[in-house]
Structure formats: structure tokens, C-alpha cells
Amino acid sequence: MEAEDEKPNERDLLCGWRSFRPKVLQKLNTPKWFLVFLTIYSFMQGMIATGLTAAGLTSLEKRFKLSSKQSGMIIAANDVSALLLIIFISYFGGHRNKARWLGIGALVTSLGCLLFALPHLLVGKYTPLEIQRTGLGDTCLFNTTGTPSGVEKCTEAKGYTAWKYMLVFVGAKLLLGAGTTPLFTLGPAYIDENVSPKVAPMYLGVWFTATFFGPGIGYVAGGSLLNVWVDLIQPPGVDLTPDDPRWIGAWWLGYFFGGLLLLCTSIALLGYPKEMPGARERRMNAIREGLLPARDEHIQGRLKDILPATKAILTNRTFMFNTCAFCCTTLIATGLGPFVSKFIQSQFGKSSSTAGILSGIVIIPGTAGGIFLGSYLIKRVDVRKSCKIAAKYCFIFQFIGTWAVLTFLIPGCKTTLLAGISHPYPFNNRTLSEIDISAPCNSLCHCSGRDYDPVCGVDKVSYFSPCHAGCTVQVKDKEKMKKTNLLSIEKNYVNCRCIPSPETSVPYGSAKQGTCDRDCKNLIPFLFGAVVLLIFNFMNATPNKTVVLRCVPDNQRTYALGLQWLFLCMFGSMPGPVVFGAFIDKTCILWEETCSGRGSCLEYNNELLSYLLVAAGLFFQILSAALYFGSWFFCKSIDSTPAVPDVDHPSTPQLQHRLSPPQTPVPGFVFRQEKQTADQQADPEQEALAQAGPDSRSSSPVPGIARYSIDDDSVCLSFKTAGDESERRFLPQSESSI
């Protein structure tokens, strides 16, 4: 590492851009200010890529006729680019200016945000289907001759997307993933190498809190933006509310303004130096004191060193068990997280905007509380034991959090009783195994199967539309029609041929707009259980990163984080949304029909949805807990490497047994010489077995003997290995290391 070992030029440690490095900017050249800008970057990417996307997912599916699996594929595209770039960025970026790579990442992320909002401009203004309907009204135009009373034309809402818009979304997500890649690899490594090891957990905790606080704010902000009409102003004759199923909110606004803020943040990050003043000396002292693992001098950041570095990390059992466990929890978080808002809508009967806000209310205290508690516990741990204790915490928190998944079994709304789908038509002898929204009672109505406008009959059964309920007459309130727009009026229908009448004097029943009451309940218990689930799962955030940073050599930390991120993308965040999206689609009982085929899901089987999510969640949570136990089992604390002899009590047991080799082989060993007091008696000679390398360039542990003797003036150390013997003498200091 010749390039890295050279002392940097004093100007290279200044904050600025190329030759522009004014003195006023140097006030920002501190770890705390860097943490501020990194926090904004991390917060915004979490808010946009996770929170806004998940909150606006239902509106996006309605607007562009997407299924849950298709929207899951858009979300998963975020990790495809990360998968391709992670090795390159983590390895080469780890040996270069990490701050500059982070600034480029923020810039690319901002471009991805702006591109994701682009389809809104290309697609045109949105007009609800009812305004465009031709020929047929929403009632049954009963025709006893069987001749259609009108000619139905296939019309979609204006701006219905084609496959090209899907490509734009995927391309934007690819940019978002590429821009995020350096954040989770180079970001924590840059913080870790510029602050003291004792305070690093708190810095990482603040960063993690911002990272996972972002999605919570994104849910709240996204839910609030969904109360705004997608085109900001509704078209003439339309006055819908967010509770109307035809409402589509302004899902794109957050991406636009978030992209602009990230653009400003990238400029600030690009001005930071490769290392901050005093960081190198602080880190070398920590390594000499045994607070951090030593560097692996065989790895020098060259292309030919990739394979040895990769082999060393992949054969590190602590790292591999920890990473596999994290993959399982990531698969659940990225798979279930984007669909939480949809789950609340279906399971508890809330609008898309309300569901987004409720999701944020759950995520903010859950993630922030969990990360704060995890960081606080790690900060109180002895640095030399932080690796093993952090691995232990990961297992305990994961095991407890596993059972919180049962929260999704809390009953909410009953599945909608939809005639012909989940409930038979009253005047139909066919069984439910023959799912069909058409029946003899509406066969001569010639109803459209594309316009979902549910009504609730007096029999407490919902129908696909007034036409499918056989309603021939709409009751109009003329006074109300004068005061308000057509689409905002709650409509009532009579003479519905498919609905039995409760009165014998009237042959057919009546209906009103909307689905019937589904007996929704238990929203508060569900939200409380979700907070508990998030707290225990996110308590692992800082311990997990602590294990990775402490179980590998110092100069392989960035590459280890990159490899972990590679595994997370490949086996966690990339398949997660697709797998859970497919699970959710399996519970759909009613699909939207469009001119080009099947669209988004309109109604779900709530009971089956809960069971599937709990089964998948429990499986991956239990597997994650088992893998965390393996990481704890194989982890060795730094203090299990050659210990520091206690010269005050030279007969202590630590000098009497063979010391176990370090988890990652490191040449030589460390002695700490405490300051001698005047009344100390110098022992003439003490002997300890240790792992010593015959050559400072060798990383293979070699058995040998170390002897030391202490007199009034100096300390003499002699090293003896096979065929080699050396001796060093130095003056005692308050704390010295060799």
C-alpha cells in the first residue's frame, strides 16, 4: 500500500473543489459536518426509493394498469445496477477518495429521481373512465330481445401507458440503485476511519437512523401528496375525493423535489478530501493499541488482489453467517415493506393516502427506536469485545423479533362479499367454484367488465357495478345535483333485478354506491404490533455493521461491506419485492380488465393474504435467527488474539497458556507497557507463548517464544522463532506499543 502509506499533502486534506479551497469551508471539514451531508443523502434516498415508492404504489398501479408482480419488478430493478457495480465500487472506491464517490452517487440518484417522474409528463392528463364512457351508462339497459342497447367501445383512461413507460420506470430505478451503491459501502467505512473507534457506533447509529427514518417520512409525505390530484387540478365536471376508488394522487411530486435536493447534497459531498486532518494518526494509534484489527498488507488495492481479498472474506465464517442472516431479514423488509400501505388499505379499509400516513407513523418510531437502542448498547461495549458481543445481540434481537411477525394475523376487515366472486348471486344456482360476475339476472344488461364501480345491495352483498346488480333506475337528487358535480354525488339505485327485496310488495331490491361494510377493526393493535416488530428487527442495524467492520482486517472493511451489499442485492432486496408481489397476487380475487389484458388487482382475500405473509415471514425470520447464532458461535473477540501482558502482575494466567490465533491472521503481536511506579519490583524474566511471524511481511501465524525483562531504565523484548532470534530494547512510557 505504498500510495496509501504516504503521508498526504497538507492541501489534500482541505475541503473544496479542485483549486477552490477557501478557509471558510474548512469549518465544514469535520466528521460531524460530513455526517450531516451523508445523513441528508441517506435520508432522501430512503424517503424517495422506499417511502414515496411504497406509499404511491397503489396510485402507480391504477394509473399505469400494473399488477403487484409488475410493480415488484420495478422496485427490484433498483438492485440490478447495484449488483453489477458493487464489487467495482466497494473495492476500488475503498482505496480512493470515498467522499468523492459518495458525491457522484448522490448526483446519479438525483438524476434517477427526476427520470422516475418523467412518465407523468409524457403520459398526459388523467380523466376517470366514467367521463369517457360511450354508449353505455352505469345502469342496466335491460333489453329482452338480447340485442345490445348500445355499442361498447374499448376506451381507456387518457394516458394509459404502454410498455415504453415501464422501461422508463425500470431505467430510473437502475439509476437510483447505481447512485445508492456507494452509500451503504463507502459511507460507513469513511465514517469509521475518520472518527475514534469508541464513538464510531454512535456515528453509525445516527447514520442508520437517518437511513431508516427516511422511509417513514417518505410514507407520511407520500400519503399527504396523494391527497393532491395527480394533475394538481381536476378536470371540469370532476370533483372526486381521495376516498373515491377512481382517485389518483400526485405520486410524482416527491420525486421531483427530492431530486433537486439530492443535486445540492452531491455538490457538498464532492468537496470532501480522501481523509480528514488527524484521521490517519488516530487510526494507526487505535491499531497499535489493539482496538482495531491490523491491516492485511498483502491487499494493496490492485486488480490482482481482488481474488485473494475475496477468498479471505468469503472464508470468514463470522462474516458469511452474519451476511446470510442479514439477507433473510432484507428479503422480508424489501419484499413486504413496499406493500405495507396496500395491506393496510385492503385489511383495514383505509384510503391510499391514509394508509401511507399510517405506515409512516409506524415506521418512524419503530426504526428510529430500534437503531437508537442497538447503537446505545454497542457503544457501552468494550471495543475489544465489540465483535462477539455485537454478534450475540444480533441473535437475541432477531430471535425475539421473529415472533412479532404474528402481528399480521390480527384480524382486520372481512373479505368483500362480491357477487359472483366470493359470494353467489342470490338468484343463481351456480356454486362459487364457477367464478363469474355475469348471471342470468344481468345477462340481458350487456354490462362492461372493465368499469369497477361497486354498489352495496340491501342484502349486504357487494356487486361489481349497478349494471351487474341489474339496477335499471338511478335515484337522482335534483337539488344536490345543482350544487355539486356529477361524480361527487353518492348514487342510489332501485329496481335491481339481481338483489332480493326485503319487502314483499317490491319485486326487486335497491343499492347504494360503494362496497358494503366489512366490519373493519383492530387497526390500533396492528399498528402497535408493527412498531414492536420494527424495533426488534432494527436493533440489529448497528450490531450487524459492527460485526462486519470488526471481523475483517482494517483495509478490507470497505470491500467486506461491498460483498455484503452484493449478497443483500442478489438474495435479499432484488428477489424480495418480486416474491412477495407474487404472493400478494395469489390472494387476488378480482382483477381489473383492460383493453390490452389484465390490469391491477381490485379486491383481495384478506384471510389468505394474512396467512401467506405470516408463513413467509416466520420462515425467513427463523432462518435468520439460526444464521445469526452461527455468526455468534464462530466470532472471536479481538481480545482473544495475543493479549497484552500485565507487567504489574507477570504471573497472571494469560501468560501461562498458548494464545489463540487471531480470526484473520495478522503478523506479529502487540505488547502494551503500562507506566511503571517507583515501588514496582522488576521480575528478572517472564516467558509467554505467542503467535509471531518471522518476517513482518508474512501474515501466517508462526509459533514462537517471546521473553521480556524489565529493569529500572528499559524494557528488553526478545523474539525467538525457528532459525531466527531478535532483540529490541526501549524506554518505558506511560503507554507504548510494539
In order, the DSSP letters of 437-488 are: S--GGGTTS---SS----EEETTS-EESSTTTTTEEEEE--HHHHHHS-GGG
Q: What is the DSSP letter of 51?
A: I
**Half-sphere exposure of 657 toward its Cβ, with a 13 Å CA cutoff?**
9
Enumerate long-range contacts of 147-152, CB under 8 Å, 24 or more apart: 148/446, 149/446, 150/446, 152/446, 152/448
d(CA 559, CA 409): 40
- β-strand 715-721 against 588-594: which pairing, if any? unpaired
Instruction: Give residues with Cβ within 8 angstroms of 692, minimum separation 6.
Output: 668, 669, 701, 702, 703, 704, 706, 719, 721
pLDDT of residue 415: 86
Q: What is the pTM of this model?
A: 0.63
User: Alpha carbon of 51 to those of 46, 187, 222, 251: distances in Å?
Assistant: 7, 21, 7, 11
pLDDT of residue 644: 41
d(CA 76, CA 378): 32
HEC string of 321-359 equals HHHHHHHHHHHHHHHHHHHHHHHHHHHHCCCHHHHHHHH
d(CA 35, CA 192): 11
Instruction: Give, for 706, the enclosing helix (H) or strand (E).
Output: strand 702-710
Instruction: Give, for 391, the enclosing helix (H) or strand (E).
Output: helix 386-402
Q: Are 165 and 123 in contact (CB under 8 A)?
A: yes
pLDDT of residue 564: 85
d(CA 39, CA 368): 14
Q: Are 471 and 460 in contact (CB under 8 A)?
A: no
Q: Are 462 and 418 in contact (CB under 8 A)?
A: yes
3-state helix, strand, coil in the chain (%, to 5): 55, 10, 35
Beta bridge partners of 729: 716
Instruction: Give residues with Cβ within 8 angstroms of 330, minimum separation 6.
Output: 568, 572, 573, 576
Task: Report the amino acid identity of residue 391.
Answer: A
Closest CA to 603 of 416, 408, 369: 416
CA 114 to chain centre: 21
C-alpha radius of gyration, the chain, whole number = 32
Hey, is 136 helix, strand or coil? coil
User: Alpha carbon of 101 to those of 88, 115, 428, 531, 539: distances in Å?
Assistant: 12, 21, 66, 35, 29
pLDDT of residue 465: 85
E strands, 649-701, are: 672-674, 686-692
Q: Are 421 and 602 in contact (CB under 8 A)?
A: no
Q: Which three cell numbers stand for residue 32?
A: 460531524
Beta bridge partners of 462: 418, 456
d(CA 554, CA 287): 9
d(CA 581, CA 57): 12
Q: Are 138 and 465 in contact (CB under 8 A)?
A: yes
Q: Are 326 and 572 in contact (CB under 8 A)?
A: yes
Instruction: Give residues with Cβ within 8 angstroms of 94, minimum separation 6.
Output: 185, 186, 189, 301, 557, 558, 559, 562
pLDDT of residue 108: 93
User: Alpha carbon of 296 to those of 1, 317, 414, 721: distances in Å?
Assistant: 10, 18, 60, 22
CA 276 to chain centre: 30
Which residue ranges in the chain fall short of pLDDT 70? 1-12, 94-95, 129-138, 142-162, 278-279, 283, 286-305, 383-384, 427-435, 476-490, 554-555, 594-597, 636-738
d(CA 38, CA 99): 9
Beta bridge partners of 513: 455
Largest CA distance in the chain: 118
CA angle, corner 287, sides to 285 and 293, nearest 5? 165
Q: Are 327 and 571 in contact (CB under 8 A)?
A: yes
The residue count of the chain comes to 738
Closest CA to 186 of 74, 243, 269: 269
Hey, is 263 helix, strand or coil? helix
Cell 437503531 belongs to which residue? Answer: 371
